[in-house]
Amino acid sequence: MKKKHQEPKPSAETRSARVEGLRRRAFLGRLGLGAAGVLGVAGAANAEVGPLIGLERKQMARRIRKGCAKIAANRPHPVHPDNGEESDYPYVANYSKGLPHDDLGEVDPAAYEALVRALSTGREEDFEAIPLAGTRKLTNPQAGLGFDLEGPDGHSLSIPPAPRIDSPENSGEMVELYWQALTRDVHFSDYESDALALAAADDLSRLSDFRGPKDDGGRVTPRTLFRGTARGETDGPYISQFLYRDIPYGTLTISQRQRTAVAGLDYMTAYRNWLKIQRGATPSRSDQFEALPLYIRNGRDLATYVHFDALYEAYLNAALILLGLGAPADPGNPYGRYRKTAPFGTFGGPHILSLVTEVATRALKAVWFQKWYVHRRLRPEAFGGRVHNHLTGARSYPIDSEVLNSDAVSRVRSRHGSFLLPMAFPEGSPTHPAYGAGHATVAGACTTILKAWFDEDHVLEAPVAASADGTDLVAYTGPGAERLTLGGELNKLASNVAIGRNAAGVHWRTDASASLRLGEEIAIGVLEEQRVTLAEPHSFTLTRFDGTRVTV
């Protein structure tokens, strides 16, 4: 009987090459790049080993760069509408701080047009031709023109038009800011019993279009007052655990007691001083601080934190705290299933510590485009000047009546002698437009990275809050103490920073909410592009600020 033909048994070397080829194809498949066009193995003198070596590696690096560029190019490029105020109410409803202003605080039209001209051309000589009235320079409008080589291009993301000064929504936001100024020295833990906090909740509840968090009956309560709207933000103390716990920093342990401003000291409540600041003058007064460092207890303490922070400081600290706690990683981290290898440069401490800060400058470029090149929203302090001049009869503006008739405005007048918004910083706002907010965009980006990296459902045990005098931490046993999750406290951290800027009077609620989501998109885009550069099969799952889940 004729023997059936049999293929010769492959040698060990051939089998090894086949296995290596399968591994390489699997790796390339995860990258979504395929194997076409990969060059051959380098010469025999090359001692490296791996699924891709020599010229193969060089060619694949090029293909990965092209693949990431394709991911970025395939993202939609939106239109960028504004709210129409610049054309409907020229020179009174847009940012103009630092430029020449008349005695009503209205910008010189020629100076404003020079600003818009520079933004339109991007030419150095046009920026240098912008007339300034004082010593303060405009803050970095050119940043909005920068490109990035990782994540979405800053111009490919958008935020909705800001509320107009003639809208009830804008009234809701400004009334909240007046109340935040009035209650700066009320401890967060006293909101349930303090007369001012209770009055604030009642006044905000009466507004027709206030969009802060409310209870099930649709009312603002001391429990929801001045908080954010994302998951977990109304649980537990007002301040996130990540702004209280000690920070392990190598061999150092850093307390989060901070230098904070003295109580009762507000700025820019006199019209003459307000006008000088709008014209770009350096303030004649400076910050004054308590003798001892304190934990954050109230809106003034929080405003002081966001006055001097290093922008991504809170999120680097949060990452260090979580690593120190041994907090569990997201289930998509591949090292949860590996038994023979441990994470370090990828999926380990060095990776998350660099990644959480890596998104910050990308966030700033994106929001600086929105600020200068799309919206140019006026700062709350400038709108406070419009309210003051309108109510004193110096000028008539198309301001929605709800802010004019609010309890908050009348209380500010009684306390300070004007209708101007009392500011926590001597210089008032920075010299760039309000919408979106730099702090909030960085907060959204950095906390999104942390929510992707760690298990959001992990419960943080033994919650704490500041003592009455702020010198120590005490156990928190109030509402929500048993359900303070990692994800919820990161959401709260982002809002503490974003809304903390509102507590200072320099930003609006929508500056915070829209910018948190802008930062979130930047972080997700960076994770999408980094995914194809890593050898380990992995995923990241997180909860967006709007409550939806996404897996990268």
Position 19 scores a pLDDT of: 44
Question: Which positions are catalytic?
Answer: 432, 439
Position 16 scores a pLDDT of: 47
- SS3 labels along 503-552: HCCCCCHHHHHHHHHHHHHHHHHHHHHHHCCCCCCCCCEEECCCCCEEEC
d(CA 240, CA 319): 14
Neighbours of 73 (CB within 10 A): 10
The answer to whether residue 194 sits within a structural domain is no
The answer to whether residue 78 sits within a structural domain is no
Position 25 scores a pLDDT of: 55
The answer to whether residue 284 sits within a structural domain is yes
The better pLDDT of the pair 489, 40 is held by 489
Position 38 scores a pLDDT of: 42
The answer to whether residue 492 sits within a structural domain is yes
Contact (Cβ atoms closer than 8 angstroms) between residue 404 and residue 391: yes
**Is residue 160's pLDDT more than 50?**
yes
Conformational region of residue 99, where left means phi above 0, alpha means psi within -120 to 50, and beta covers everything else: beta
d(CA 522, CA 148): 11
**Is residue 333's pLDDT more than 90?**
yes
User: Going by C-beta distance under 8 Å and a sequence separation of 6 or more, which residues neighbour residue 83?
Assistant: 161, 162, 163, 164, 375
User: Going by C-beta distance under 8 Å and a sequence separation of 6 or more, which residues neighbour residue 275?
Assistant: 101, 103, 105, 385
Position 50 scores a pLDDT of: 85
Average pLDDT value for residue range 315-337 = 97
Position 22 scores a pLDDT of: 46
Number of structural domains in the chain: 1
Contact (Cβ atoms closer than 8 angstroms) between residue 129 and residue 118: yes
**Structure pTM?**
0.92
Look up residue 376 and give its two tokens: 């140019």
388 exposure class (CB count in 10 Å sphere: 0-12, 13-18, 19+): buried
Position 428 scores a pLDDT of: 98
**Is residue 242's pLDDT more than 70?**
yes
The answer to whether residue 81 sits within a structural domain is no
Average pLDDT value for residue range 24-28 = 53
pLDDT in tens, 400-450: 999 999 999 999 999 999 999 999 999 999 999 999 999 999 999 999 999
Position 48 scores a pLDDT of: 84
Average the pLDDT over each of 66-75, 114-123, 536-545 and give the range with the smallest value. Answer: 66-75
pLDDT in tens, 495-522: 999 999 999 999 999 999 999 999 999 9
User: Going by C-beta distance under 8 Å and a sequence separation of 6 or more, which residues neighbour residue 30?
Assistant: 532, 537
Q: What is the dihedral of CA 542, 546, 547, 548, to 10 degrees?
A: -60
Name the percent of the chain lying above pLDDT 70. 92
The enclosing domain of 504 has a CATH number of 1.10.606.10
The answer to whether residue 401 sits within a structural domain is yes
Average pLDDT value for residue range 189-213 = 98
pLDDT in tens, 259-280: 999 999 999 999 999 999 999 9
To 5 degrees, how large is the angle CA 228–CA 95–CA 230? 10
Name the percent of the chain lying above pLDDT 90. 88
Position 474 scores a pLDDT of: 98
The answer to whether residue 155 sits within a structural domain is yes
Conformational region of residue 280, where left means phi above 0, alpha means psi within -120 to 50, and beta covers everything else: left
**Is residue 36's pLDDT more than 50?**
no
Look up residue 133 and give its two tokens: 């009235």
Position 465 scores a pLDDT of: 98
- Range of the structural domain that residue 443 is part of: 134-187+235-552
pLDDT in tens, 290-306: 999 999 999 999 999 99
Position 37 scores a pLDDT of: 42
pLDDT band at 8 (very low <50, low <70, confident <90, very high): low
Average pLDDT value for residue range 167-188 = 98
Average pLDDT value for residue range 54-82 = 91
Position 23 scores a pLDDT of: 47
Mean pLDDT of the chain: 93
The answer to whether residue 220 sits within a structural domain is no
**Is residue 57's pLDDT more than 80?**
yes
